[in-house]
């Protein structure tokens, strides 16, 4: 079993879920549905493209100043 990060945000009446370690993205009408769909998408992706074990990701943020 492996743990992955889920980043979830609301957009136009639905929730978008992303897994930054793998690059998978899914959506749902609720946070729970988006997370469930992301888990399924990530499992299917990993069946075809296994990921070697990496260290824990470092989550940070940065600011962009518009030109």
Burial class (CB in 10 A: 0-12, 13-18, 19+), 57: exposed
Report if residue 40 sits inside a domain.
Answer: yes
How many structural domains comprise the chain? 1
pTM of the model: 0.82
Q: What is the pLDDT along the chain (67 residues), one digit of tens a residue?
A: 788 899 999 999 999 999 998 999 999 999 999 999 999 999 999 999 988 777 777 888 889 999 8
Report if residue 34 sits inside a domain.
Answer: yes
Domain encompassing residue 20: 7-48
Report if residue 1 sits inside a domain.
Answer: no
Report if residue 29 sits inside a domain.
Answer: yes
Distance CA 9, CA 22 (A): 18
With the C-alpha atoms ordered 48, 53, 55, 56, is the resulting torsion angle positive or negative? Answer: positive
């Amino acid at each position: 079993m492996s743990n992955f990060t889920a980043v979830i945000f609301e957009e136009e009446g639905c929730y978008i879920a992303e897994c930054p370690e793998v690059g998978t993205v899914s959506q749902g009408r609720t946070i729970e549905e988006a997370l469930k769909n992301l888990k399924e998408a990530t499992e299917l992706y990993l069946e075809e493209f296994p990921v070697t074990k990496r260290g824990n990701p470092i989550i940070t943020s940065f600011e962009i100043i518009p030109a």
